[in-house]
């Protein structure tokens, strides 16, 4: 099964086409950010339908990168292998060739700033695919024919270039906004069909007047080969991330799993988990992997105590140990509550579970740590208020982000983050927990002012997180989540599993097609670095057939949960 999994991210697009073509409300995929003119019709999916894209089992990747003219900027046009990529390129744009097919593209400015928006050139009358962040945490795909169709926060842009006016053969050009020093870049289009890129540090004190390596450009005959080749080049250039083939993949990927989130949300409890495991066993689909999601931790919602209405997602972590639902108080008599998390996990092993993971956020919990608490003061948490990039404000807002903006996030001192992770994971390992799902990872970009900027802060936290995983768990046992910003993507050095989509919302039909499409298309990029985690689906649900068919078609060895 491990061998088959290597083909998952190359087959997901075909599977998605088959599944989505049967969904009645496909226009809902578009959302307010992808107008009806860009609906996911079958011809849009045929963007990837050339027969040479698909791999036969055991067939090796073929290299089709042509050894020809290097990327060339001439007469204000950027050409790659004779194919025009951009017209009317401004004079402040610089091109740094890397290979015969690839280059870095950047720009200079007469003034220094922590944020720049540069025009790259005009794109018209081509077929294109974007992966863009429609929320702070998540990407979705969008198709179009000119730069005006390219949304803010685009993190991958793929163009189709025909060999000639009457030719049926296509070649492809990819634009990948990357990390240039302490600056992170993203793509966007404007109403004049000009492609732009935005570079920003997230810290007013971190400024620059040039960003020569903001965008990576590459050319090839086949899009999947092109993405793979591009990520191989970037891995060697940056050294901050690693390809999936080089990473240790957690053993839980081989087993059917159950996540408690949609069953209980934050009301998860020991008896409910046991009942769920029993139900799955009696139904003939026993879980061998359990993820105890949000709700097991010892948290405080201080706003509720102050008389404020309940604020979803604003709990703060009071202690690295479990809450009273999973730990019996010493003077409790005849209680059915387990004595501690270790005893409860031991009880769940009677269902023949092979792996038990638990949830925590990158900063401990959604709102960080409780300040001045006895169990958290060693980490010196300080309250910080998120500052959102203008590009984020233009896309869909998130209720949890709104709450964080109002009440703040209590951030562990970055100098003590390694100690915090080691204490947390060391305790969990002592309770026989096998691994963790780490959520809300993109939050750092909003609180990096005064701390060296978003790229630098993300690097520090990611290195500390992966170091703690390696020290405390034996199986590279981490699922990354809400980590679809390139700040996080290009720092995945060891992590081998990451969520590929926004949540599955069982009560919101307009999101179901988008969920499937996001998984399929995001995996084109994500799948080169990690095994894409497909979140959850319901077995008894209107969307179960499409979700289940896509899963089975791809033979997805992913952290794929069933509720």
Domain assignment of residue 10, yes or no? no
The reply to whether 143 and 279 lie within a common domain is: no
Q: Is residue 7 part of a domain?
A: no
Note whether 526 and 559 are within 8 A (CB): no
Beta strands in 409-471 (DSSP E): 409-411, 435-439
Q: Which of 89-103, 110-124, 452-466, 530-544 has the lowest mean pLDDT?
A: 530-544
Co-location of 133 and 257 in the same domain: no
Domain's final residue, options 232, 257, 272: 232
Phi/psi of residue 460, nearest 5 degrees: -60, -45
Q: Collect contacts of 55-63 with beta carbons under 8 A, ≥24 apart.
A: 55/7, 55/10, 55/11, 55/224, 57/4, 57/7, 58/3, 61/225, 61/228, 62/222, 62/225, 63/225, 63/229
Q: For residues 217 and 345, state if they share a domain.
A: no
Please check whether residues 181 and 213 belong to one and the same domain: yes
Beta strand segments in 145-271, E? 154-162, 170-177, 179-180, 183-189, 194-200, 208-220, 257-259
pLDDT given for residue 239 in this prediction: 97
Across the chain, mean pLDDT equals: 85
Quick one: which of 404, 553, 489 has its CA closest to 176? 489
Q: What is the pLDDT of residue 216?
A: 98
Find out whether 142 and 130 touch, Cβ atoms under 8 Å. yes
Q: Cβ distance 485 to 445 under 8 Å?
A: yes
Contacts of 238 (CB under 8 A, 6+ apart): 178, 179, 490
- Per-residue pLDDT at 301: 85
Structure confidence at residue 531 (pLDDT): 96
Average pLDDT over residues 479-504: 96
* pLDDT at position 534: 80
More confident residue, 43 or 132: 132
Domain count along the chain: 2
Between 401 and 94, residue with greater pLDDT: 94
pLDDT digits (tens, 9 = 90+) for 270-280: 999 999 999 99
Question: Which pLDDT value is given to residue 195?
Answer: 98
Q: Do residue 312 and residue 396 come from a single domain?
A: yes
Residue 37 placed within a domain: no
Report percent pLDDT > 90 for the chain: 67
The pLDDT assigned to 20 comes to: 42
Does one domain contain both 343 and 399?
Answer: yes
* pLDDT band, residue 52 (cuts 50/70/90): very low
Q: What residues make up the domain containing 202?
A: 72-232
d(CA 126, CA 128): 6
Per DSSP bridges, beta strands 103-113 and 154-162 are unpaired
Whether 143 and 287 map to the same domain: the answer is no
- In this predicted model, which residue has the larger pLDDT, 46 or 492? 492
- Among the ranges given (63-77, 202-216, 350-364), the one the predictor scored with the smallest mean pLDDT: 63-77
Clarify whether residues 100 and 212 are in a common domain. yes
Residue 33 maps to a domain: no
Three-state DSSP string of 538-560: CCCCCCHHHHHHHHHHHCCCCCC
User: Is residue 412 assigned to a domain?
Assistant: yes
What is the spatial distance between Cα 3 and Cα 245, in angstroms, rounded to a whole number?
Answer: 11
pLDDT per residue as tens digits for the range 319-356: 999 999 999 987 776 788 999 999 999 999 999 999 99
Distance CA 47, CA 160 (A): 8
Closest by Cα among 194, 200, 201, 238 to 216: 238
Position 452 pLDDT exceeds 80:
yes
**Across 398-417, average pLDDT:** 90
Percentage of the chain beyond pLDDT 70 is: 80
Residue 22 domain flag: no
- 432 domain-assigned: yes
Question: pLDDT at position 21, please?
Answer: 46
pLDDT band at 308 (very low <50, low <70, confident <90, very high): low
End of a domain among 232, 257, 277? Answer: 232
pLDDT score, position 164: 60
Task: Look at residues 190, 188, 206 and name the one whose alpha carbon lies nearest to residue 198.
Answer: 188
Q: What is the reported pLDDT for 1?
A: 34
Domain assignment of residue 205, yes or no: yes
Nearest to 102 by CA among 266, 224, 227, 17: 227
Judge if 94 and 165 occupy the same domain. yes
Q: Are residues 392 and 463 in the same domain?
A: yes
Q: Alpha carbon of 451 to those of 393, 462, 489: distances in Å? A: 22, 15, 20
> Which range is least confidently modeled, 14-18, 399-403, 502-506?
14-18
412 and 535 housed in the same domain? yes
CB 195 within 8 A of CB 121: yes
Tens digits of residue pLDDT in 228-267: 999 999 999 999 999 999 999 999 999 999 999 999 999 9
**In this structure, are residues 156 and 173 in contact, taking their beta carbons and an 8 Å threshold?**
no
* SS3 per residue for 304-341: HHCCCCCCCCCCEEEEEEECCCCCCCCCCCCCCCCCCH
Specify the pLDDT at position 297.
98
Is the per-residue pLDDT at 559 higher than 50? Answer: no
pLDDT given for residue 57 in this prediction: 33
What would the mean pLDDT of 6-29 be, rounded to a whole number? 39
> Nearest 10 degrees: CA dihedral of 137, 142, 145, 150?
-10
Determine the pLDDT at residue 306.
58
């Amino acid at each position: 099964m491990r061998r088959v999994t290597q083909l998952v991210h190359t087959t997901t697009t075909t599977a998605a086409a088959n599944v989505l073509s049967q969904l009645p409300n496909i226009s809902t995929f578009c959302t307010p950010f992808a107008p009806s003119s860009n609906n996911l019709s079958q011809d849009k999916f045929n963007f990837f339908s050339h027969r040479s894209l698909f791999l036969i089992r055991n067939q090796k990747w073929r290299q089709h990168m042509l050894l020809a003219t290097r990327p060339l900027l001439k007469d204000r046009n950027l050409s790659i292998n004779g194919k025009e990529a951009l017209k009317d390129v401004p004079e402040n744009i610089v091109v740094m060739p890397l290979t015969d097919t690839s280059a870095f593209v950047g720009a200079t400015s007469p003034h220094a700033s922590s944020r720049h928006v540069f025009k790259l050139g005009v794109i018209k009358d081509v077929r294109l695919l974007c992966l863009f962040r429609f929320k702070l945490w998540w990407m979705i795909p969008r198709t179009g024919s000119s730069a005006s169709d390219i949304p803010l926060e685009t993190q991958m842009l793929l163009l189709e270039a025909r060999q000639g006016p009457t030719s049926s053969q296509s070649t492809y050009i990819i634009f990948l906004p990357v990390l240039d020093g302490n600056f992170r870049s993203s793509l966007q289009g404007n109403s004049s069909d000009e492609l732009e890129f935005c570079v920003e540090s997230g810290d007013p004190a971190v400024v620059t007047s040039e960003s020569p390596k903001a965008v990576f450009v590459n050319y090839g005959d086949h899009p999947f080969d092109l993405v793979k080749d591009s990520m191989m080049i970037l891995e060697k250039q940056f050294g901050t991330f690693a390809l999936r083939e080089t990473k240790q993949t957690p053993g839980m990927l081989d087993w059917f799993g159950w996540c408690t989130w949609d069953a209980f949300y934050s009301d998860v409890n020991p008896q409910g988990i046991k009942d769920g495991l029993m139900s799955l066993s009696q139904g003939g689909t026993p879980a061998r992997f359990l993820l105890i999601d949000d709700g097991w931790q010892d948290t405080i919602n201080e706003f509720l105590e102050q008389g404020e209405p309940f604020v979803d997602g604003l709990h703060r972590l009071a202690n690295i140990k479990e809450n009273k639902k999973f730990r019996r108080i010493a003077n409790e008599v005849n209680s059915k509550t387990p004595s501690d998390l270790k005893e409860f996990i031991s009880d769940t092993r009677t269902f023949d579970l092979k792996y038990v993971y638990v949830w925590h956020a990158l900063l401990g919990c959604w709102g960080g740590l409780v300040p001045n608490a006895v169990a958290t003061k060693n980490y010196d948490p300080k309250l910080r208020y998120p500052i959102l990039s203008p590009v984020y404000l233009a896309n869909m807002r998130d209720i949890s982000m709104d709450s964080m903006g109002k009440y703040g996030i209590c951030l562990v001192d970055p100098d003590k983050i390694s100690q915090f992770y080691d204490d947390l994971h060391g305790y969990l390992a002592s309770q026989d927990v096998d691994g963790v799902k780490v959520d809300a990872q993109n939050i750092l970009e909003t609180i990096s002012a005064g701390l060296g900027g978003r790229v630098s802060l993300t690097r520090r936290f990611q290195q500390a997180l992966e170091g703690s995983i390696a020290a405390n768990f034996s199986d590279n046992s981490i699922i990354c989540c809400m980590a679809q910003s390139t700040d996080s993507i290009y720092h995945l050095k060891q992590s081998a599993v990451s969520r590929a989509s926004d949540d599955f919302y069982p009560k919101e039909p307009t999101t179901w097609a988008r969920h499937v499409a996001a998984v399929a298309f995001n995996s084109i990029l994500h799948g080169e670095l990690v095994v894409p985690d497909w979140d959850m689906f319901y077995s008894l649900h209107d969307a179960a057939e499409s979700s289940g068919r896509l899963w089975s078609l791809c033979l997805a060895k992913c952290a794929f949960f069933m509720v």
